[in-house]
Structure 1
């Protein structure tokens, strides 16, 4: 498949024009025209690029790509090494940030909800259909210990827990990755528990003082599943060879 046609397909599927993002979405580094093998992953790190080179990939598709707002614009050091490796091996780099968080089926938020048996996937921010923070429920309720065990089992890592809410959790809000800043909004909406990837120092005080359970399950761990699901979709719909490669990251 031509790289430009793959780009058009991904753009139509993920609709990046709906989002005000912190980086360019789509084709970030152009490689060979014909794409047969795609590697998917969370972040376009050197380790992922090297792994893609090893399996002779024509394209890499990630959630965290390059050229973030506020970063140094010069291409030196680590950035030079990454981009040089892509160009030298003629590998396309596709990256989708907020559009991949928010896709209602393939997105990071939707995939995490599926893993944790959360019912419903509605925006918590009124009037913002593309809200990165979502709300749903545990139909039969769950206590914080059982939720911790479920997260540990599904994500393969022990989450950070601040148990500051009700004995039984029914309503839940979540935002994969670095969404800890939304905990106050979740608490104001009367949500029982808030799940995200990271924690900041003040997050724990907010949880305690506003009476809401807080779970930080890992930025990388909560965002593994969108890129994987998107790759599986491309394999099924477009007949591409796709391999998800998980570069371990404890954060």
Structure 2
């Protein structure tokens, strides 16, 4: 076996898409080196050897294409967790609606808060679907929701079909973090008894009287971290409705 000192070798990568380059290794996990470029001598390295390596991506021309960073088309190399978001090129002006795959380096590192176990991203005002539009004849609970850092919520109930005798009770329950029981924290003062209409409820720590808002009901209150919404009909007649919410800062 030959030993290489200050020799230059070529290390090849294999990629199917730009930004997905992986280094090839043999069955023992050792780096694959092009032996032909070393005069047919297989390298044997120890901690005193210095190996100069060039890394290329293999696309249409094997070994002749620079490695690309994601889909940004920039030459370079991204070092980080597997499948982590690529860092976008910083724009010359601010922009909105940046997707999670192109997170800005300047904001991603700082906007997280500790919840006692793990770290959560800070949220802006956030729209959520609690119950998709459907015909229902019984009590319906939304999936459990997590309030990361919002102070209040707007609840939107849209009723499109209702039996004349049927009313709907809307409420929010908080989840006991130990026992898992749900406890009422808000119940709409008036049951819904109108079809082809929309209803909006506001729950926020501070505010004015109901008369100051063009909403169905305005309540001064807070939303716990774990909560869900429940709609209870007065009978088993079919009612078609949907429920959405806007979590607000």
Q: Which structure dedicates a bigger proportion of its chain to strand?
A: 2
Is the structural similarity TM-score above 0.5? no
Q: How high is the TM-score relative to the length of structure 1?
A: 0.29
Q: Which structure dedicates a bigger proportion of its chain to helix?
A: 1
Q: How high is the TM-score relative to the length of structure 2?
A: 0.29
